[in-house]
Amino acid sequence: MGEPRTLAHRYRLAERTGEPATWLAHDHEADRTVVLTRVAAGDVTARLAATVRTLTGLTAPTLLPPIDLLHDDGTWVVRDHVDAVPLPEHPCADERELARIGAAAAGALVAAHGAGIVHGDVRAEHVLVRPDGSALLAGFATAPPDLAPDAAHPAPELTSGRPAGPAADVYALGTALAEELARTGLTASDRLAATLHTMRAEFPDARPTAWAARRRLAAIADPESPPRGSRTSHGTTVASAPDNTVAIDSPAIGPAAGTANLIDARPGRAQEEQGVRQQGSGGSDPRMAGPGHQPSWIAAPPTGPAPAGLGRPVPGEPPRKRSKAWLVALLATIAAITVVTGAVLVAKPVVTIAGTAAAPPGTTPPPPSLLGEVSTADPCSFVDADALARLGRTTLLDDLGSPASCTVGIERDTDRGFVTATIAAKKLMPPAGQPTPTGELIVYRATEYHRSCERTIVLPDEHRIEIYSGAGTNDTSFPVCDAAEAATEDALEVLTSGAVRHRELGPPRTSLLSVRACDVIDPAALSSVPSLRDLRERGYNDWSCRYGADPAFPTGARVLVNFTRYSNLEGGNGLFTLDGRWANTFPSATGSPVCEAAVAQRSFTSASGMQRLEVLSVQVALATDQPGASPAMACQKATDLVRSAIPRLPPVR
């Protein structure tokens, strides 16, 4: 059959272009030149039309979207004609120019993937370079992935019949760039070679996301660009320090971080104990996943006269900046999570598993950590609100939960979720999920469970970056694993490129951060907890401590001591005073013998202008075979431990 000269009584075909099955044409209605590509739409024309409508709504500067879809002797996709040449016709001066062009193409994939669109046939001919050197990615909607087109660079998983996904686009782009390197004879640096190799990894999960690929290529194209993350946005003020540290402006506590995972429980298993999702690095006692309370981080502080020794927010006084209303429900879901991530503890005599500690005198110090100065590493280095904005509207929560963590809240249509990154010390329990070596790092990826998803990056020095994503109780469509994977790729790039930010640690003498969590509980009080084994694990920076977490005795008693931050202590069994301080207890909602006792140390104004409480949290899980064990007994033991700690805490004034 001959080629039609005019299509849909509007588009007059002119000449073939360098792209497959593509013609230049004149649109006589708009009096302009356009590009038409014949596509094998088959029986999916309705789906293709929906894809075209979605693409036309995208505003990514490097994505060249279709503008029309027509049916005339076949199915045709129409796009604007631009003054540009395909990449094979553009002589790249060096690898930096090729990396810049590749970053532009990856940026187009970021926008498409964020909208649920897979390109399906990324090739060099679809990468168009303008006279000014800027680049666009074309060819969208011309190769429906579910029709298994004859793609130029099919990813390995496509040969087994799997549909093309975002990872296949990354593979194809990496292959196209690698072939351009070979064709032009350009010499690739080790960094570019490693980036392209990773993009062409055999397994989809081992490839970077399009966003991570874009950022890596952009860094190669412009190695003098400012360090990632130096920004003033999302309600957080950061300032660059002279030694490339990042100092967070908080008048009361100095460095600020976000919510934490201080309980080390598999995602979802904690749901049985507390009715809310918990975050954790996996492999530990599900009974210690939290006491079941959901403190409202955004709610106003308790009313009435303050107990002596505790300065707290003035009732009715508005904060300098209010949190978004949609965060109220989300933070209620995250709240119990904050009492969970870093360490393991115990009574006397004890075997101590060191968290972050210096080498003993006379021994060879360990090699430098990828974190740099471990104690001052900023957890907000590993979760980027700007990058996660492709999943929805983001808010950086840098002043709640453990200072070892940082959280980004995400609002996506009617669904809400969050991603938390936590710096954790060496642990006894292995991470959840299957391990995947990535250079000198090991990434553990757990499957989605109860609307949560977890990733753990284990460093050579056995420190961990724990990435946890969760969704609200009724938010069933929030992509928890996509969010966790995006943050993981971001964290991997930060670690491998040496871009970990640091913060100044200068807590006031009244802060809990000026003492060690493993030192605050009276050993005599610990010995009163039945069946508590003599094992103690210190958390990152000594901000948490867990006793009794012996993998060989999973039913034994557990105690977790944690320094954290709330907006108030309401809920639970009700506020009371304990040696002149606000306190409360939060028993398990399921009747299990688990309870948290929390006592306020001091109030402070966060970097985002909110009033917060610094809190000592002590959780007790009694042995499952303990006679008479109940939530009430666990609350009594937890309260006794908190009472024993108060004389060892910093002064409140």
Q: What Cα–Cα distance (Å) separates residue 514 from each residue in 506, 507, 543, 650, 653?
A: 9, 6, 9, 8, 14
Query: Which pLDDT value is given to residue 364?
Result: 56
Instruction: State the average pLDDT over residues 590-601.
Output: 93
From the CB of residue 361, how many other CB atoms can be counted at a distance below 10 Å? 5
pLDDT of 26 > 90? The answer is yes
In this prediction, residue 168 has a pLDDT band, given cuts at 50, 70 and 90, of: very high
Distance CA(333)–CA(273), nearest Å, equals: 14
Q: What sign has the CA pseudo-torsion 149, 155, 158, 164?
A: negative
> b vs e for 571-598, b when ≥16 Cβ sit within 10 Å of the residue's Cβ?
bbbebeebeebbbbbbbbbeebbbbbbb
Distance CA(233)–CA(237), nearest Å, equals: 7
Return the closest-CA partner of residue 567 out of 313, 354, 207, 218: 313
% of the chain at pLDDT higher than 90: 35
Cis peptide leading into residue 631 (ω within 30°): no
Distance CA(388)–CA(141), nearest Å, equals: 25
Return the closest-CA partner of residue 101 out of 190, 220, 14, 20: 220
Residue 628 buriedness (CB in 10 A; 0-12 / 13-18 / 19+): exposed
pLDDT of 285 > 60? The answer is no
Query: Which pLDDT value is given to residue 40?
Result: 74
Specify the 3-state DSSP secondary structure of 573. Answer: coil
Task: Kindly write down the DSSP assignment for every residue of 143-181, as one continuous string.
Answer: S-GGG----SS--GGGGGTPPP-HHHHHHHHHHHHHHHH
User: Residue 57, Cα to own-chain centre: how many angstroms?
Assistant: 27
Of 24-28, 144-148, 214-218, 532-536, give the lowest mean pLDDT range. Answer: 144-148
**H/E segment holding residue 642:** helix 631-645
Query: Which pLDDT value is given to residue 195?
Result: 87
Query: Which pLDDT value is given to residue 586?
Result: 94
Query: Which pLDDT value is given to residue 363?
Result: 54
Residue type for position 471:
A
From the CB of residue 448, how many other CB atoms can be counted at a distance below 10 Å? 17
Q: Are 286 and 366 in contact (CB under 8 A)?
A: no
Distance CA(495)–CA(562), nearest Å, equals: 26
Instruction: State the average pLDDT over residues 487-491.
Output: 89
Q: Which of 164-168, 362-366, 645-649 has the highest mean pLDDT?
A: 645-649
Hey, where are the domains in the chain?
A: 85-221, 237-294+323-338+371-496
Query: Which pLDDT value is given to residue 607?
Result: 72
Q: For the whole model, what pTM was predicted?
A: 0.55
Query: Which pLDDT value is given to residue 46?
Result: 77
Distance CA(291)–CA(81), nearest Å, equals: 61
Q: Are 456 and 464 in contact (CB under 8 A)?
A: yes
Q: What is the pLDDT of residues 458-484, one digit of tens each?
A: 999 999 999 999 887 666 778 888 889
Return the closest-CA partner of residue 124 out of 152, 87, 92: 87
Residue whose structure tokens are 């500067």: 61
pLDDT of 352 > 90? The answer is no
Q: What is the pLDDT of residues 441-464, one digit of tens each?
A: 999 998 888 788 999 999 999 999
When the pLDDT of each residue in the chain is averaged and rounded to a whole number, the result is 76
Q: What sign has the CA pseudo-torsion 271, 286, 331, 575?
A: positive
Distance CA(282)–CA(272), nearest Å, equals: 15
Distance CA(348)–CA(647), nearest Å, equals: 19
Instruction: State the average pLDDT over residues 482-506.
Output: 87
pLDDT of 505 > 60? The answer is yes
In this prediction, residue 191 has a pLDDT band, given cuts at 50, 70 and 90, of: confident
Residue 457 buriedness (CB in 10 A; 0-12 / 13-18 / 19+): buried
From the CB of residue 358, how many other CB atoms can be counted at a distance below 10 Å? 10
From the CB of residue 376, how many other CB atoms can be counted at a distance below 10 Å? 17
Query: Which pLDDT value is given to residue 255?
Result: 23
Q: Which CATH architecture has domain 85-221?
A: Orthogonal Bundle (1.10)
Distance CA(601)–CA(197), nearest Å, equals: 51
Query: Which pLDDT value is given to residue 354?
Result: 45
Return the closest-CA partner of residue 462 out of 502, 497, 427: 427
Query: Which pLDDT value is given to residue 439?
Result: 82
Instruction: State the average pLDDT over residues 609-627.
Output: 89
Specify the 3-state DSSP secondary structure of 594. Answer: strand
Angle between helices 210-221 and 166-184 (to 10 degrees): 30
Residue type for position 93:
A
Q: What is the pLDDT of residues 523-574, one digit of tens each?
A: 999 999 998 988 888 999 999 998 987 777 777 899 999 999 887 888 899 9
Distance CA(269)–CA(281), nearest Å, equals: 12
Query: Which pLDDT value is given to residue 8?
Result: 86
Distance CA(113)–CA(317), nearest Å, equals: 44
Instruction: State the average pLDDT over residues 64-73.
Output: 89
From the CB of residue 600, how many other CB atoms can be counted at a distance below 10 Å? 27
pLDDT of 262 > 80? The answer is no
Query: Which pLDDT value is given to residue 333?
Result: 55
Distance CA(35)–CA(38), nearest Å, equals: 10
Query: Which pLDDT value is given to residue 471?
Result: 86
Of 16-20, 120-124, 433-437, give the lowest mean pLDDT range. Answer: 16-20
From the CB of residue 197, how many other CB atoms can be counted at a distance below 10 Å? 12
Q: Which of 115-129, 287-301, 537-551 has the highest mean pLDDT?
A: 115-129
Return the closest-CA partner of residue 61 out of 107, 126, 129: 107
Cα angle 638, 639, 644 (rounded to 5 degrees) comes to 100
Return the closest-CA partner of residue 344 out of 549, 523, 527: 549
